Amino acid sequence: MHGRASFPCVCVTRRSPVNVPCPHVDIGFHSFIDTLLAQQGLTRRVGENRPKPSISLYVCRYYCRYPAQPCRTSVDAPVRDTPQNNHVFPTFVRRAAVIAGRRPYIVGALGTLLAAAVLGVSLLTLVAARDTAIRHAHETSGNIAAVLSSNILHTVESSDQSLRTLIASLDKPAIQTMNADVRHELLFNRTAISQYVTGMGVTNEHGQLIDGCCSSRHHWNFSDRDYFLVHRESADVGLYVSAVYRARSRGGVEALALSRRIDNADGSFKGVALVAINLTYFSRLLDGLNVGPSGITAIVRTDGTLVARNPHIQLALAPNFSKSLTFPRMVNQDSGFYAARSQTDGVLRLYTFQRVPGTPLIAVVAPALDDVLASWKTLSWIVGTSASVISAGFCAVVWLLAFALRDRALAEDRLTELTQTDSLTGLKNRRALDEVLRNEWERLERNESCLSVLFLDADHFKQYNDKHGHAEGDKALRHLAECITQRARRRGDCAARYGGEEFVVVLPDTSSADALLIAEGIRETLERSWHVQHGSEKAGLHAFTVSIGCATGRPGHGATLEQLTKLADLALYEAKRAGRDCVRSATTA
């Protein structure tokens, strides 16, 4: 066979590398080996036809996987495709790697989507953690507001009970006939020693103080106070909680009054009984609560005035909250929760409020949103950064792996192509031809179509080589291959070099008559090529002819692929006996 040679390759076994000629490897593969070595930063020494064992082992196994006579390093140590040598991974893993190598962008996109999904899950987790932190702050604030409301309610109820007892005692004849100092000591002495009670007293119908805890001789007039005016105008007010005012006793401290109306026997207005509570009481309640660096706790009235606040601000400087768009929620509901910016400092806070039953007082707990989410923000930075870095790294690895698998697939495709291509003519080689014939014959049996085969042989080619040299013979074979491909150019047609100067053309779905036309076209194309102006590539070529044998196979009648190829070979010999440079067709298989 002209144009083909073999080179020594290294087949590595358990024993040692042995230099054994491999007849299944084409001489053109040396350049491919050099390319693989260059990719690994290796070189082959001048004059050495043996590549590195790791590469030549792979190449020899790939080439010699299905040869009729596989390469052997020794009689008892054949190179086999054993699980220990080649099947490192399960079959499905290798198949998946091949598919991934064929579609690297899909693999990369899937990896990117997976990384994005991880980021999405991390984001949803962080959002859920944020909601949990806010919900926890609301629950904590609600508990604090409930405790505040309970404490204030207890104080209000105690004070109201004292007022009821005072009013009932004043109506008793025994109390009325007592000495004024004794009556004062009996009614007001315990109130005077209370820590946060500014005063307790009784006024007449004109607002004049009749008696009180501070002194029985003080005669201040409280007719201008809101509690006096309310009770004078209405008989069914019950317990009234006044607005904040400065007391006229005890140095003008800030206080609010709890008061009840006193009636005469006929139901007419007789006066007011009152208990004044120092605002320090409310401030002390709030001072013990910690709701964050920027959070606040407060007691406000339903009219929007501030009673107490932590951190403390002067009541004169505090705005009236009734003008706030969110304040009606506190007035119209017994309890609730909302987020809003403060009118005082503009900080976004989470307001939880609880109404003190039976009073116009509202307990408010409002931690700042930034304080509530401080820990969450730290966690989100850690989780977000980690997830982003990991996802980005995962994407990079997936894309690198996808392109690495692509390069591997391309290298395997190239290697497969080299094993199926004749290096001299560029046509398919004998191995590829056998596979095409088997596949087409199986398809023929399924589809009940027909298959034609052409056997071609260059006439007197041994004498041609002896006369013009093997180099000219190689050029002539390449020229003949070009003539064949000009005629056998359909999608399913396959032209192959069978060996030496012999060629085979496989023509699927081609009848005997059409196969004869194609064969005659090949012969005429070669014949005409000697009469046209030769290009530089064809310069110096000497004319030769070709003989062609045709055979067509159809399903049924017990025909086999071997019979078809044998008939085509017989038709070729018939063309030789007929004087060469002609086409002959065998009996239909």
Domain locations along the chain = 7-88, 171-278, 430-585
> Both tokens of residue 402?
């996808």
Q: Within 171-268, where are the H helices?
A: 173-176, 180-192, 226-233
b or e along 283-298 (b: 16 or more beta carbons within 10 Å of the residue's beta carbon)?
bebbeebebbebbbbb
Q: What is the pTM of this model?
A: 0.58
Q: Report the distance separating Cα 280 and Cα 253, nearest Å.
A: 9
What is the DSSP code string of 355-401? E-TTSSEEEEEE-BHHHHTHHHHHHHHHHHHHHHHHHHHHHHHHHHH
Exposed/middle/buried for 541, CB within 10 Å: 0-12, 13-18, 19+?
middle
> Both tokens of residue 509?
């779905």
Q: Which class in CATH covers the domain with range 430-585?
A: alpha beta
Whose CA is closest to 503, among 411, 428, 577? Answer: 428
Whose CA is closest to 513, among 432, 428, 450, 440? Answer: 450
Asked whether 551 and 518 are in contact (CB, 8 A), the reply is no
Asked whether 411 and 467 are in contact (CB, 8 A), the reply is no
Q: Report the distance separating Cα 392 and Cα 152, nearest Å.
A: 57
Could you read off the pLDDT tens digit of each residue along the chain, which spans 589 residues? 334 333 333 333 333 333 334 444 444 445 555 555 555 455 554 444 444 444 444 444 434 433 333 333 333 333 344 444 444 557 767 777 777 777 888 888 888 999 999 999 999 999 999 999 999 999 999 999 999 999 999 989 988 988 888 888 877 776 766 766 666 666 666 554 456 677 788 888 998 888 776 555 566 888 899 999 999 999 889 999 999 988 876 677 888 999 999 999 888 999 999 888 889 899 999 988 888 889 999 999 999 999 999 888 887 777 888 888 888 888 999 999 999 888 778 899 999 999 999 999 999 999 999 999 999 999 999 999 999 999 999 999 989 888 888 888 888 878 877 888 888 998 999 989 999 999 998 888 888 788 999 999 999 999 999 999 999 999 999 999 999 999 988 888 999 999 889 999 999 999 999 999 999 999 999 998 887 745 545 556 889 999 999 999 876 666 788 999 999 999 999 999 999 999 999 865 4
Q: Report the distance separating Cα 338 and Cα 353, nearest Å.
A: 9
Q: Report the distance separating Cα 254 and Cα 42, nearest Å.
A: 94
CATH 3.30.450.20 fits 171-278, yes or no: yes
Query: CA of 303: how far to CAs of 14, 227, 256, 320, in Å?
Result: 97, 15, 14, 8
The dihedrals phi and psi of 351, each to the nearest 5 degrees, come to: -90, 125
